[in-house]
Structure 1
Amino acid sequence: MKQTIIAPVFLALAALAATTARADQLADIQANNKLVCGTLGTSQPFSFQDASTRTLVGYDVDVCKLVADKLGVPVEYKLLSVAARVPELNEGRVDILAANLGYSPERAEQIAFSHAYYVSPQKLLVRKDAGLDTIAQVDGRRVGATKGSSSEREIKRILAKSNVIGYADSSAAYLALQQKKVDAQFASELVLARLMLQSPPTAPVSIIKEPVFMEYWGLGMRKDETAFIAKVNGILDEAEKDGAAAALFDKWFGAQTPYKLERGFTIAPIAE
């Protein structure tokens, strides 16, 4: 009888101890003297290899460095595929994700999101010769998206009549569009603007003006890391107040860049 009672109690205490140990990740980062940041490395201008220096650069890269600097530790980057982002985080192989991570209720059940450090209009890219000018005209056609991304999941839900085809990355989806394997490509406005800059004159493309929806991007963290989550959100809020966040946006997306975007958001909690 005693064994029947003690075993569950022992297991519960062991589980609590393990949770407490994992939840003190902020102390672990300080002890290890590094912040391991998972990022894509293939998504210009968020995280990509600079052609001249061969170093990893971009908006996501700089946001992770900002967090690491405020924590007083160096940052170490780990390149991940889109599909590997959440598993790598939850398995403890990275401390934080800065990897084009769009918020969704389903994803929020798996990981914690920081305050939104980027807000992305999600749009459709089409060939100019296709005669597609509205979202409604695209519904029911073939649409390319990055496999495993929130874009792929959401476009399946919103354009329910369409045949959504997943590709390894945005460049592969764009090639499929040019080869007429799909009729439209769905991604963030910025990704599509970058692809338009690369579009050959013989195969012009255009972005349908109306956004399909607005996507809020957060830094990804494990759900039980309450102290770490609070610290990261405090760092982001401070960056918003002192202008560091706006300066990073202007550096990568502003008037002096090819994209010439205006910052239409401020860092704030993501509404669930």
Structure 2
Amino acid sequence: MRKTLITASAAACLSLMATGAVADQLADIKHHGVLVCGTLGTAEPFSFPNPQTRDIQGYDVDFCSAIAKSLGVKLELKLISVAARIPELQQGRVDVLVANLGWTPERAGQIAYSDSYYASLQKVGAKRSQGLKTVADLAGKRVSAPKGSTSEMALRKVLPTASTVTFQDAPAAFLAMQQGKVEGFAISEIMLVKFKQQVESSTPIDILEPPLMTEAWGVGMRKDEPAMIKQVNSVLQSMEKSGEAAKIFDKWLGTGTQYNMHRGFKIEPIKG
């Protein structure tokens, strides 16, 4: 009899353990009441400090907020570097990534991507004084890019003869070009426009054509969390249908902003 009781008790414990094992990330976030969203914090206008309050704000942050709101939980932003994005997600230190995360086959093999919430052109800038006209003019020269970024990947693919020099973040990579340590600087078009405006009166730069690539940005999530992936995509599609996604674009990038851009994309599945 005693043996039977022990066996039954063990079975009950195993049942409880199994129940815990299938508890998914989405349920866990709701239970704890906090969504940890990894973002860059140095990429204006996507995630950057408010000049007055120093709070992190921007296009990516608004999407982080929308996801947290849909879950009825508080938002906690965690600032991370470009190179640390996927490791931070895989090691469970962030729940999702909304951090200028361009889709690549390599990344898609490691993590899950949401539908695309932004489409970005990757371009190269150079000091006007160098007289460079096209991307091809940088063959055999030094070009900087943020370490681990799609800008770096595109640069290595399109300009294999260039010497790619990487830095931890975009400001450092841009500074290297200003200081003459490299001849070019690869980054998303929107960030390049921002940097160009900052130095136009002192060190004018030209944006070279053609673009290195067009990339789709998605929210990064862990592959083994189907409920979380479904939730995020549902939120994004609702934002597209309601017009909220377009309003966020206009707020940070549209007519009336310093970028004066028009939204030429919609939220849709990424075609890898």
Same fold (TM over 0.5): yes
Q: Secondary structure at the match of 1:144?
A: strand
Q: Following the alignment from structure 1 to structure 2, what is the Cα–Cα distance between the partners of residues 209 and 149?
A: 20
| 1:55 alignment partner in structure 2 | 55
Which residue number corresponds to residue 22 of structure 2? 21
Q: Is the 8 A contact 1:19 1:224 kept in 2?
A: no
Deviation at 1:21, TM superposition (A): 3.4
Q: How does 1:128-139 map to 2 (within 5 A)?
A: 128-139=128-139
The equivalent of 2:169 in structure 1 is: 169
Amino acid across the alignment from 1:180: G
Match of 1:180 in 2: 180
Give the CA deviation at 1:17: 5.4
Deviation at 1:140, TM superposition (A): 2.1
For residues 55-89 of structure 1, the C-alpha deviation after alignment (integer angstroms, 9 at most, x for no partner) is: 11011100010111111111111111111111111
Structure 1 equivalent of residue 240 of structure 2: 240
* Structure 1 residues 39-188: aligned runs within 5 Å: 39-188=39-188
Larger Cα Rg: Structure 1 or Structure 2? 2
| Matches of 1:29 and 1:175, distance apart in 2 | 39
Q: What is residue 227 of structure 1 aligned with on the other side? A: 227
Q: Name the amino acid aligned to 1:194.
A: K
CA distance in 2, matches of 1:17, 1:114: 28
**SS at the partner of 1:198?**
helix
Partner residue of 1:5?
Answer: none
Identity of aligned residues (%): 49
User: What is the alpha-carbon distance in structure 1 between the residues aligned to residue 227 and residue 30 of structure 2?
Assistant: 13
| Conserved 8 A contact 2:141-2:183 | yes
Q: Which residue of 2 aligns with 1:34?
A: 34
Answer with 167-176 or 235-244: which moved more: 167-176
Secondary structure of the corresponding residue to residue 206 of structure 2 = strand
Instruction: Please report how far the alpha carbon of residue 149 of structure 1 lies from its aligned counterpart in structure 2 after TM superposition.
Output: 1.3
| Matching residue's letter, 2:78 | K
Change (3 A) 1:18 1:207: farther
Once the two structures are TM-superposed, the CA of residue 208 in structure 1 deviates from its matched residue by 1.4
Name the CA distance, whole Å, in 2 between partners of 1:188 and 1:80: 18
> Residue 3 of structure 1 aligns with which residue?
none
Q: What's the CA shift for 1:20?
A: 5.1
Structure 1 letter corresponding to 2:184? A
**Structure 2 stretches lacking a partner, 5+ long:** 1-13
What letter corresponds to residue 115 of structure 1 in structure 2?
Answer: D
Unmatched tracts of structure 1, length 5 or more: 1-12
Aligned AA (2:162) = S
Task: Give the conservation status (yes or no) of the 8 Å contact 1:120–1:188.
Answer: yes
Matched position secondary structure for 1:211: strand
